[in-house]
Amino acid sequence: MTEQPVRTRYAPSPTGDPHVGNIRTALFAWALARRTGGQFLLRIEDTDRTRYVPSSLEAIYESLRWLGLDWDEGPIVGGPYAPYIQSERLPYYHEVANRLLAEGKAYRCFCTVERLDALRAEQQRRKQPPGYDGLCRSIPPAEAEARAGEPHVIRFKMPREGQTVLRDAIRGEVVFENALQDDFVLLKSDGYPTYHLAAIADDIAMRITHVIRGEEWLSSAPKHIRLYEALGAPEPVWAHLPVILGTDRKKLSKRSGDTSVLEYREKGYLPEAMVNFLALLGWSLDDKTTIVDRETFVRNFSLERVGANPAVFDIERLDYLNGYYIRAMSPDRWAATVVEWCEAHLPSSVPRPLDRSVLEAAAPLLQERVTRLADIDDLVLFLFTERAPEYEPELLVERLAGDRDFALRVVDAALLALDALPPQEWTRERVEGAVRSLESALGTKLRKFVAVLYVAVMGRPQGIPLFDSMALLGRERTLLRLREARAKLERMHG
């Protein structure tokens, strides 16, 4: 028998921008397909019309593209099992539901919302597990057909006795008691399928060999196994990925970092770092390696190395990885990244295009310092403004224990020394020499007063190195800012 090619899918519901916790499923499904030379599909599960958010479609595509998770079949690229958007496949789900009806494996249920509510309340009162009691199972098929014009749903006949065994690639065997399952809905009264019907019908139709999904679906697995059986299709390999917890060991929430993937991009995380970070949420190379680049991940990925224990989402690890990948970039790529980032993120008051040569010169200084690309903004802004970015005069003396007179002496000495440098000698080395000469002029170490100069030049007490900053800023703007700082100090009450 020839091995079937592996076919995996990511099947998000467009109910908002995909979150990082959710996109991990896409990464694992993609990695398995890529490692085995199989196919990775994207399928949009938009059958819950009440939760549909149109803009999330674009966000799903954009998140996948940003992380480099290309799909072989799906929206935009098409494929042999198109359409890949469930709301465009309704006739197919009706066909499957009707087949199950005709074979006596499903039935029409006419129970009203009121009856179902009362049933649930009663079950709660008796501390029984919730679930449909199967009342409409006993309606004779002919009678049910005659009532087909009435509002109703179609339910699946779950076995009442025995067990359903899930063979999970990550968890091994998980046994479910059938008595605890109920006759779940396949087709809703609005004509839309439930997740259960649509997902399974599509996984069968699209020849999915490995269903990789979050642990929250584990409890639905017996329903799905029975559906496969009822439809006469061989079961796929099931893999329920471990739940992701925050560092507080509680279920991952917005507060613990489960926000939209694109928000992470906006904050300046690199896709390389994100992929590495997500890869380690449940999978590991060897229990100790933290740096796993995309290639290494794909080459080594297997479901066997995914653990069942909860994964912990630790943003500090992501920061660490981001810093690592920033520093690992070649100087050219880094410079291009800085230019692109700044073009898109510096305030719109700064005229475009930005001076590339300035950013390219600043790039090596930034590469050692930033954790996220967004850290760049405040570090370079001063290079693109005529005056120093706005700051409070008090900031000038903050690190001098409020000694305004001393601050004035520093600024005056700096003005004197720097003004003496002619324009053609305004280089990093000469600037450094001039500033260092203040040590003897003031009789104190540079580190005691350097913050005043930082604030004067860049509006903040620290940043990229001072001498480089002054050199990049140029003679006129540097002197102007020192004079401005002086004026601010003069106006302060000493």
Question: Smallest Cα–Cα separation from 7: which of 226, 156, 258, 202?
Answer: 202
Residue 235 C-beta: closest distance to ligand GLU, Å: 14
Q: Does 473 bind ligand GLU (CB under 6 A)?
A: no
Chain position whose Cβ is nearest to ligand GLU: 213
Stretch that binds ligand GLU, among 9-17, 264-272, 293-301, 430-438 (CB under 6 A): 9-17
84 touches ligand GLU by CB under 6 A: no
Per-residue b or e along 390-409, where b marks 16 or more CB atoms closer than 10 Å to that residue's CB: ebebebbbebbeeebebbbb
**Shortest gap between Cβ of 33 and ligand GLU (angstroms)?**
14
CB count within 10 Å of CB 178 equals 14
**Of positions 6, 8, 13, 197, contacts ligand GLU by CB under 6 A:** 13
Q: Which of 223, 251, 254, 448 is catalytic?
A: 254
Q: Where do the DSSP E strands lie in 280-414?
A: 311-313
CA 280 distance to own-chain centroid? 14
Q: Does 217 bind ligand GLU (CB under 6 A)?
A: yes
Task: Tell me which residue of 145, 113, 131 sits closest to 184, measured CA to CA.
Answer: 131
Q: Does 241 bind ligand GLU (CB under 6 A)?
A: no
Q: What share of the chain is helix, strand, coil (3-state, %, to 5)?
A: 50, 10, 35
> How many Å apart are CA 363 and CA 378, to the nearest integer?
14
Smallest distance from ligand GLU to CB 14, Å:
9
Site for ligand GLU in 281-320 (CB under 6 A): none
SS3 (DSSP) at 371: coil
Smallest distance from the beta carbon of 19 to ligand GLU, in angstroms? 10
Single out the segment in contact with ligand GLU by CB under 6 A; choices: 8-16, 143-151, 232-240, 483-491.
8-16
Distance, CA of 293 to CA of 275 (rounded, Å): 8
11 binds ligand GLU (CB under 6 A): yes
Structure tokens at 298: 């794909």
74 three-class SS = strand
From residue 45 to residue 74, the character string flagging contacts with ligand GLU as x (rule: CB under 6 A) and all else as - is: x-----------------------------
Residue type at 92? Y
254 catalytic? Reply is: yes
DSSP state, residue 394: G
Alpha helices by DSSP H, listed for 171-282, are 195-205, 221-230, 261-267, 271-279
- Between 7 and 213, CB nearer to ligand GLU: 213
Q: How many residues bind ligand GLU (CB under 6 A)?
A: 7
- Judged by beta carbon, residue 43 or residue 108, the one nearer ligand GLU is 43
Provide the 3-class DSSP secondary structure of residue 34: helix
CB of 291 to ligand GLU, least distance (A): 29
* Residue number, 19 or 481, with CB nearest to ligand GLU: 19
State which of positions 320-339 bind ligand GLU (CB under 6 A).
none
* b/e map 55-83, b = 16+ CB within 10 Å: ebbebbbebbebbebebbbbbeeebebee
**Site membership for ligand GLU, residue 199 (CB under 6 A):** yes
Supply 369's token pair.
């310092």
Q: For residue 169, give both structure tokens.
A: 């690639």
> Which residue's CB is nearer to ligand GLU, number 160 or number 254?
254
**174 closest CA partner among 213, 219, 113:** 219
Shortest Å, Cβ 17 to ligand GLU: 13
User: Are residues 471 and 426 in contact, defined by beta-carbon separation less than 8 angstroms?
Assistant: yes
Side-chain half-sphere exposure of 103, counting CA atoms within 13 A: 14
User: Cβ of residue 258: shortest distance to ligand GLU, in angstroms?
Assistant: 14
> In the bound complex, what is the minimum distance in angstroms from residue 283's beta carbon to ligand GLU?
17
Site for ligand GLU in 420-439 (CB under 6 A): none
Position among 89, 213, 226, 486 found at the interface with ligand GLU (CB under 6 A): 213
Stretch that binds ligand GLU, among 10-18, 240-248, 277-285, 406-414 (CB under 6 A): 10-18
Identify which of residues 16 and 393 has a Cβ nearer to ligand GLU in the complex.
16
**For ligand GLU, which stretch binds (CB under 6 A), given 5-13, 385-393, 435-443, 444-452?**
5-13
Instruction: Please report which helix (H) or strand (E) contains residue 154, including its range.
Output: strand 153-156
Q: Which C-beta is closer to ligand GLU: that of 13 or that of 371? A: 13
User: Considering Cα of 188, then 192, then 194, then 200, what sign does the dihedral take?
Assistant: positive
Residue with smaller CB distance to ligand GLU, 64 or 199? 199
Task: Indicate the angle between helix axes 466-473 and 475-491, nearest 10 degrees.
Answer: 110
Please, what is the minimum distance in Å from the beta carbon of residue 11 to ligand GLU? 4
DSSP assignment of 289-329: -----HHHHHHH--GGGB-SSPEEE-HHHHHHHHHHHHHHS
The only residue of 12, 21, 38, 463 in contact with ligand GLU, by rule CB under 6 A: 12
Question: Tokens 């100069």 appear where?
Answer: 453
What residues line the site for ligand GLU (CB under 6 A)? 11-13, 45, 199, 213, 217
Tell me the catalytic residues.
254
